[in-house]
Amino acid sequence: IMESRDSIRQGHPDEYEKFPGARGGDFAGMRLHSVRLPGLVAHQEVIFGGLGQTLTIRHDSITRESFMPGVILAVSKVADTKGVTYGLENLLTE
């Protein structure tokens, strides 16, 4: 099966598994899962659960177009930024 999937493999060849056994892996008491699908650029889902209930927060980016406002903001502010800025939220508050 792996050989037949090589032509549609996604991701960077130098990527590595940061959390061994990430499918169901445990990080600080939280279970992690990762899915890669063609046509799904970015997908984030957080599920909170309690006895007999769940609350799901989900965001999907279908195209890279959704990232452009952030790219434009970062490019417009890069010349005036001193040092290293980590996180777009630090540019939004200026």
pLDDT in tens, 25-53: 777 777 777 666 777 788 888 888 999 99
How far CA 3 is from CA of 7, 8, 83, in Å, comes to 8, 10, 45
If one compares 66 and 91, the residue with the highest pLDDT of the two is 66
Residue 74: which residues within 8 A CB-CB, separation 6 or more? 88, 91
Number of domains the chain contains: 1
Residue 88's nearest CA partner among 80, 72, 79 is: 72
Q: Are strands 25-27 and 53-61 parallel, antiparallel or unpaired?
A: unpaired
Q: Is the pLDDT of residue 85 over 90?
A: no
Report how far residue 43's alpha carbon sits from residue 34's, in angstroms, rounded to the nearest whole number.
10
Range of the domain at 35: 2-92
Give pTM, 2 decimals: 0.46
At residue 14 the predicted structure's pLDDT band, cuts being 50, 70 and 90, is low
Q: Is 55 helix (H, G, I), strand (E, B) or coil?
A: strand
Per-residue pLDDT reduced to its tens digit, 55-70: 999 988 888 899 999 8
Joined together, the tokens standing for residue 17 give: 């598994």
